[in-house]
Amino acid sequence: MTGRRICFLTGTLNAMAGAERMTATIANALAALGHHVTILSLWDTASQFPLHPAIRHEALFAQRPSFRREYLATVAGIRRHCAAHRTEVLVQVDTMLALFVLPATAGMGLHHIAWEHCHFDEDLGKPARKLARRLAARFCRQVVVLTERDRSRWLEALRPRCDVVCLPNPLPFPMPATPAPRTRKTVLAMGRLVAAKGFDVLLRAWQQVAAQEPEWQLLIHGEGEERPALTALAAQLGLEGRVSLPGVCHDPAQAYGRASVFCLSSRYEGFGLVLIEAMAFGLPIVSTDCETGPRELLAPGQDALIVPADNAEALASALLTVIREPETASRLAASGRAKANGFALERISAQWDALVKAPPSGAAP
CATH topology classification for 5-170+344-357 = Rossmann fold (3.40.50)
Written as tens digits, the pLDDT of the chain (365 aa) is 579 999 999 999 999 888 999 999 999 999 999 999 999 999 999 999 999 999 999 999 999 999 999 999 999 999 999 999 999 999 999 999 999 999 999 999 999 999 999 888 888 788 899 999 999 999 999 999 999 999 999 999 999 989 999 999 999 889 999 999 999 999 999 999 999 999 999 999 999 999 999 999 999 999 999 999 999 999 999 999 999 999 988 888 899 999 999 999 999 998 889 999 999 999 999 999 998 789 889 999 999 999 999 999 999 999 999 999 999 999 999 999 999 999 999 999 999 999 999 887 644 33
What confidence score (pLDDT) does residue 361 get? 61
The number of beta carbons lying within 10 Å of the beta carbon of residue 14 is: 16
Sign of CA dihedral 323, 328, 329, 330: positive
CB 42, CB 10: distance < 8 Å: yes
| Sheet with 89-92, edge to edge strand ranges | 56-61, 36-43, 5-10, 89-92, 111-115, 142-145, 163-166
What confidence score (pLDDT) does residue 363 get? 46
What confidence score (pLDDT) does residue 16 get? 85
CATH topology classification for 186-343 = Rossmann fold (3.40.50)
pTM greater than 0.95:
no
CA dist 114 → 169, 171, 244, 356 (Å): 15, 21, 38, 12
Residues 151, 293: Cα–Cα separation, whole Å: 12
| CATH fold match for the domains 5-170+344-357 and 186-343 | yes
What confidence score (pLDDT) does residue 4 get? 97
* Helical pair 312-324 and 199-212, crossing angle rounded to 10 deg: 50
Strand intervals (E) in 240-325:
243-247, 261-264, 285-288, 305-307
User: Which H or E element spans position 278?
Assistant: helix 273-280
User: Which residues lie closer than 8 Å to 241 by C-beta, 6 or more apart?
Assistant: none
Could you tell me which of 275, 278, 226, 279 has the C-alpha nearest to residue 289? Answer: 275
Residues 282, 43: Cα–Cα separation, whole Å: 38
* Domain locations in the chain as residue ranges: 5-170+344-357, 186-343
